[in-house]
Amino acid sequence: MNCPELDLLQQLVDDELADELRDQLVEHLSLCADCQKRIDSSAETKLWGDALSDLNTCPNESSLLEKVLANVKSSLDPWQKEHPTQSMYSGISAEALAWTGDGFELIAVLGQGGMGIVFKARETSLDRVVAVKVLSPKFAVDPSARERFLREARAAAAVNHPNVVTIHAVSDSGPLPYLVMEYVAGETLQERLDESGMLPTSEVAHIGGQVAAGLSAAHNSGVLHRDVKPANIFLDENTRQVKLGDFGLAMVCGQSQLTKTGMLAGTPTYVAPETLDPAAKPDHRADLFSLGSVLYAMCCGRAAFEGHSVVATLHQIANGQPTPVAEQNPNVPAWLGDIIGKLHEKDADLRYQSAEAVQSALETHALGSIDVVPPPARQVRSQPQRERNGSRLAIFVAVCVVAAVLAVLSTVWTRVPEDFSVFNDEGALVGSFADLSEAVEMAPDGSRIEIQGDGPYFVEPMTLTQRSLTLIAAENCEPVLRFEFEDNHEEDETCLIAEGDLSLEGLSLVCEVGDEVGFPCLVHASEGAFHADTCRFIIGPQGSCLVCNTEHPIVLMDCELHAVGGDCVELLTEGEDRVELEDCLLTGGVAIRIPEPQSCEIVLANCTLVAHEVFELFDEEAEVTGEQTIHFLTEDCAFKAFESVVAMNTPDLSREAFMQLIEWTGTRNVFSGPLLAVLEDESRQIVSWCQSIEDWFSVTAETDSTYSDEPFPVADEELWELLEVPEELDTEIFDREITAGEVD
Amino acid sequence: MTRAAATRVSLLVRLRDSQDSAAWSQFTDIYGPLVFSFGRRYGMQEADAADLVQEVMGQVARSIAKFEYNPQLGKFRSWLYKIAKRAAGRQYSKRQRQPQGTGDTAIVDTLDQIPDASVDGEKIWKRQYRTQLLTWAAEQIHDQFQPHTWQAFWRTAVEGQSPQAVAEQLSLNVGSVYVAKNRVMKRLAAKVREIDDTL
């Protein structure tokens, strides 16, 4: 037999051949070494390498691990936490469970109301998690109720909008009709309100605007909701998206809420007055009244219309006026109170006439309120700095005027947006605050401060005394914290002193240093560990981004540090420091300064460092004893120095002493500019034993690294875009230090 | 053709749908043990490693949507490594503040000696990541094969014995051993790709 084609060998592996041919081929394969090689080379063997032989080693067995895995699984599934499986089926009729054989696998019960049950289930054919609403058997036997259920569900299914819970399917095939809906992971607005009471205005506007958008889409397709209430508003915990569910279904089983007492329990709080009048024909504006009640509940933490009994509540809705929002919560801005008042008009003609109009009213004001009311600190503090030469009296008058204006304004515009939300270590909201220092003061140990907005926020220097604290940007926000010093600052002031562990995520920290300030720094990690992820640090024209004086790990990932005329990172500890930078960009006078000889480890992976001196070692008086070793581990980095990559302040540095002091391990790095210089009486001398890249490679352990005279990986213009300096910051300070002309 | 592998969306993509709890459960089964052994290698006690698993899984759940599914930009493997490393660092510093059993200096000593504190960390991670995926995949497909097919694969590919020797042990002809080995390997590869096709 001749050697078969590769295709045929493949078919043999895939078991796609007739028996006879297969046997022939196998026999040939037993004898033909060539074909044995060919069949092996087409396999994925090479991909795995020695990993396959690792299969032979015993895997990690731990009963604790098993438990953790089970725990993790249930904690990733928020519904299972709230609806423990033991009680899952209690109180549910056997008929209601009947449909589960129908291509669904039951996961949990989400809710049970008068008209039916909602399950969380897995649709086995598509392997997706859905919510299934099954009509209660007691209504399913009534053909007209059944008909209405299906009709309403089909109408709602036609609405396709991100703020409306999608209906995937409607079924009437089994004993109980049901509909299959999108499952929204997260809580309902009702649960949120139960947990945190009133919500900050920005949140009210956000949720209200999205509900209005969803209603608008439904109304435009001719679908009324008829039961807008917090329990039907779902907050997606992953996207912050708000979704309105349960369209039209409330009415299916009880047309008049007054007559069917079974439907009343807990629900009439949000209905519109016209729905109570058997003669009236409620239209889409009834949904808007309910939306007003939802907004009211978010602002005040309680319902607008509340009586001691169902009848008393209905009486309130029909005839009463709710307590004005401002009386319940003085923090609610007047415009929001006005919107709610207009939605609560008993006469539908006096309300907003469309959900769209409500949406745009909420959105316009929500934006406007932030623009119109500047943070007071900014007015008062920036004034004296800008007019430094003016007389003290003028400044005093200006401050008084501003204060007076603010006092007047505060009666009209009662609120500054509360963008700083504090969550404790269990994730519960402690409170929302208008400025960072207040939030920090109220933040317990281990908490997380989430910043919901871009700012710029004007911040005074502060000390964080918590053992551990996280400052994090809310989703889709890029907050800028601008630090400003008081006029009577001390020298070398620090913007943020961390006395414990500090993590920053997604923030920009900016400080424009005035003439009178010495050499300040943005962050001083003085005790605990410091982590920064996707942050930007900008300081100039002098000062450092980060001063580390801690024995705990310093880790920066995806960060940019720009210290114009100063240091990006300064390592002060005389201990076993470890600094780790990954995917970072550093520009400045010095990228990393180590003032005292010390043993430390500097790990740089995939970083770009552009500076006059990338590494500056030791103050002038420092003595190198030969006992310390600075360990550099660098991988995929680019170093560009205008003066030298490593600058030493120790004049009599021999090649041997250098090699003893610096343990450099590098892979795939790119260097540009002079490599090693010694500073001597203000002048820089490139040391004789390190004048070429070959010399450099001979004193360091570099593999696959290169030297480049080409423009650097980060061209200066690109650097500009990367900087994205806030407009108010005088950008000339950046020009001065890093220009193309100085590159030579 | 490999129908299943071509059309099936990999687990990593499915994870972005936070509602796909089957995907999450599978993810936990595969990657939980990996993170656990990473923590143990980092010098953690079992309970701490267990905490680490919990934290890393939670982190992934929160940020998987941000993970750009683009093999050119970065592999899932490295991304997970970063998360695990960061969480371990955090836990390490937390532990330093609340010294338990092990005692501070002891931890520092071990931390210095363990490979993960150095640039080798990711190399080791890479190997363990593969091993973990292969182990899991092997368990999944094991039952789909006749015992002698599986043995032919195992003894040649895993134990590194020669096909001739294995043929003799199993009373098969040499060609069948080659076919069996390649058949299992192919299925194994497809299974692994269902989980992570950036590997």
Place of tokens 């920066």: A556
Q: Is residue A401, in this structure, part of any structural domain at all? A: yes
Nearest to A185 among B19, B58, B163 (CB): B19
Domain boundary among A148, A182, A216: A182
Nearest residue in B to A75, CA atom: B58
| The pLDDT of residue A372 | 32
| A313 and A196 in a common domain | yes
Statement to judge: residues A204 and A102 lie in one domain = no
Q: What's the half-sphere exposure (Cβ side, CA atoms, 13 Å) at A656?
A: 2
Q: How far apart are CA A281 and CA B166, in angstroms?
A: 84
Preferred mutation among B2, B8, B10, B18 to probe A, highest tally of A CBs within 10 A: B18
**B71 in contact with chain A, both atoms CB, cutoff 8 A:** no
Structure tokens at A120: 């969380």
| Closest residue on chain B to A468 (Cα) | B94
Q: Which of A633, A56, A236 is nearest to B17 (CA)?
A: A236
What CATH number is associated with residue A543? 2.160.20
B174 contacts A30? CB cut-off 8 A: yes
Determine the pLDDT at residue A222. 82
* Strand order through the sheet with A447-451: A429-433, A420-423, A447-451, A468-473, A501-505, A530-533, A554-557, A577-582, A600-605, A630-635, A662-667, A701-703
CB–CB contact A36 B174 (8 Å): yes
What residues of chain B lie within 8 A of the CB of A129, using their CB? 19-22
Q: CATH number for the domain including A230?
A: 1.10.510.10
Percent of chain A past pLDDT 90, that is, above it, reads 13
**What's the token pair of residue A162?**
């991100």
Q: How far apart are CA A702 and CA A634, in angstroms?
A: 9
Query: Residue A60 and residue B135: Cβ atoms within 8 Å?
Result: no
What the block records as the tokens of A363 is 């959105």
The tens digit of pLDDT for each residue in A248-267 reads: 554 443 333 332 333 333 35
Average pLDDT over residues A523-538: 90
For residues A524 and A593, membership in a common domain is answered with yes
At residue B136, the pLDDT reads 85
Same domain, A204 and A325: yes
Q: A333 and A208, same structural domain?
A: yes
Show which of A143, A160, A182 is a domain's final residue: A182
pLDDT value at residue B96: 55
Backbone angles phi, psi at A129, to 5 degrees: -90, 130
Q: List, in order, residues 6 or more apart from A596 with CB less than 8 Å away.
A: A572, A574, A618, A619, A622
CB atoms within 10 A of CB A124: 12
Report the alpha-carbon distance of residue A676 to residue A404 in Å, rounded: 60
Chain A residues touching B58 at Cβ < 8 A: 72, 75-76
Among A27, A42, A72, the residue with its CB nearest the CB of B54 is A72
> CA-to-CA distance for A718 and B193, rounded, in angstroms?
38
Question: φ and ψ at B72, to 5 degrees?
Answer: -70, -35
Stretch 106-125 of chain A: residues touching chain B, C-beta under 8 Å = 107, 122
Let me know how long chain B is: 199
Q: Residue range A401-405: average pLDDT?
A: 40
Q: Compute the average pLDDT of residues A134-140.
A: 73
Shared domain for A544 and A397, answered yes or no, is no
Least confident among A28-32, A75-79, A503-507? A75-79
pLDDT, one tens digit per residue, over A267-306 is 578 888 887 766 677 888 999 999 999 999 999 988 888 7
A320: Cβ contacts below 8 Å, ≥ 6 apart: A305
**What's the rounded mean pLDDT across residues B18-35?**
78
Q: Are A635 and A629 in contact (CB under 8 A)?
A: no
| pLDDT score of B176 | 92
Is A227 catalytic? The answer is yes
Which letter does DSSP use for residue A322 in this model? P
- A496 within some domain: no
User: Is the model more confident about A485 or about A389?
Assistant: A485
Q: Do residue A243 and residue A296 come from a single domain?
A: yes
- Residues A286 and A403 both lie in one domain: no
Does the residue A320 lie in any domain?
A: yes
Asked which of A368, A392, A408 is the last residue of a domain, the reply is A408
Is the per-residue pLDDT at A157 higher than 60?
yes
| Beta carbons of B158 and A27 less than 8 Å apart | no
Q: Is residue A589 part of a domain?
A: yes
Residue A504 bridge partners (DSSP): A471, A532
**Does the CB of B118 have a partner CB in chain A at under 8 Å?**
yes
Minimum Cα–Cα distance from B137: chain A residue: A55
In this structure, the number of other CB atoms found within 10 A of the CB of residue A611 comes to 29
The range of the structural domain enclosing residue A641 comes to 516-737
Question: What is the average per-residue pLDDT within B21-36?
Answer: 82
Same domain, A251 and A306: yes
Residue A736 has pLDDT above 70, yes or no: no
Element spanning B133, H or E: helix B121-141
Phi, psi at A432, each rounded to 5°: -115, 140
What does the pLDDT look like over A597-627, one tens digit per residue?
888 889 999 888 888 889 988 877 777 777 7
Residue B110 banded pLDDT, cuts 50, 70, 90: very low
ipTM of the complex: 0.75
* 3-state SS class at A631: strand
> Which residues between 589 and 608 in chain A have a beta carbon less than 8 angstroms from any beta carbon of chain B?
603
Question: Does A743 reside within a domain?
Answer: no
pLDDT of A255 reads: 36
Mean pLDDT, rounded, of chain B:
73
Please list the alpha-helical segments (H only) found in A344-434.
355-372, 376-386, 392-412
Pair A722, A586 in one domain? yes
Mean pLDDT of A466-478: 88
A323-332, Cβ contacts within 8 angstroms, sequence gap of 24 or more: A325/A296, A325/A299, A325/A300, A326/A414, A328/A299, A328/A300, A328/A301, A328/A302, A329/A198, A329/A299, A329/A300, A329/A301, A330/A414, A331/A201, A331/A414, A331/A415, A331/A418, A332/A201, A332/A204, A332/A299, A332/A300, A332/A414, A332/A415
Which of A21-35, A490-504, B96-110, B153-167 has the least mean pLDDT?
B96-110
Cβ of B92 within 8 Å of Cβ of A553? The answer is yes
Per DSSP, B154 falls in state I
Mean per-residue pLDDT, A208-226: 89
Angle, vertex CA A495, rays to CA A492 and CA A501, nearest 5: 115
Put simply, the answer to whether B189 touches A29 (Cβ < 8 Å) is: no
The reply to whether A635 falls in a domain is: yes
Find the range with the poorest average confidence among A44-48, A209-213, A562-566: A44-48
A227 CB-near residues (< 8 Å, 6+ apart):
A246, A249, A250, A251, A267, A270, A271, A290
The string of DSSP codes covering A238-250 is TT--EEE--TT-T
Mean pLDDT is lowest, of A94-98, A395-399, A587-591, for: A395-399
What pLDDT was estimated at residue A68? 67
Check CB contact under 8 Å for A26 and B89: no
Same domain, A196 and A131: no
B88 touches chain A (CB under 8 A): no
> Total domain count for chain A?
5
Please indicate, yes or no, if residue A442 is contained in any of the structural domains. Answer: no
Sign of CA dihedral B180, B185, B190, B192: positive
Check CB contact of A310 with chain B, cutoff 8 Å.
Answer: no
The larger pLDDT score, comparing residue A310 to residue A450, is at A450
Partners of A128 on chain B (C-beta within 8 Å) are 17, 19-20
In whole angstroms, give the CA distance from residue A136 to residue B56: 42
Contacts of A498 in chain B (CB under 8 A): none
CB-based contact (8 Å) between A455 and chain B? no
Residues A273 and A213 in one domain: yes
**What is the residue-averaged pLDDT of chain A?**
75
Q: How far is B185 from chain A (nearest CA, A)?
A: 7
User: Within a domain: residue A86?
Assistant: no
The pLDDT assigned to A422 comes to 87
Catalytic, out of A54, A77, A102, A227: A227
**Predicted local distance difference test score (pLDDT) of residue A730:** 40
pLDDT of residue B103: 38
Region A690-712 average pLDDT = 76
Q: B77, B129 in Cβ contact below 8 A?
A: yes
Strand partners, A242: A235
A–B: how many Cβ contacts below 8 A? 176
The alpha carbon of residue A184 is apart from the nearest alpha carbon of chain B, in Å, by 7
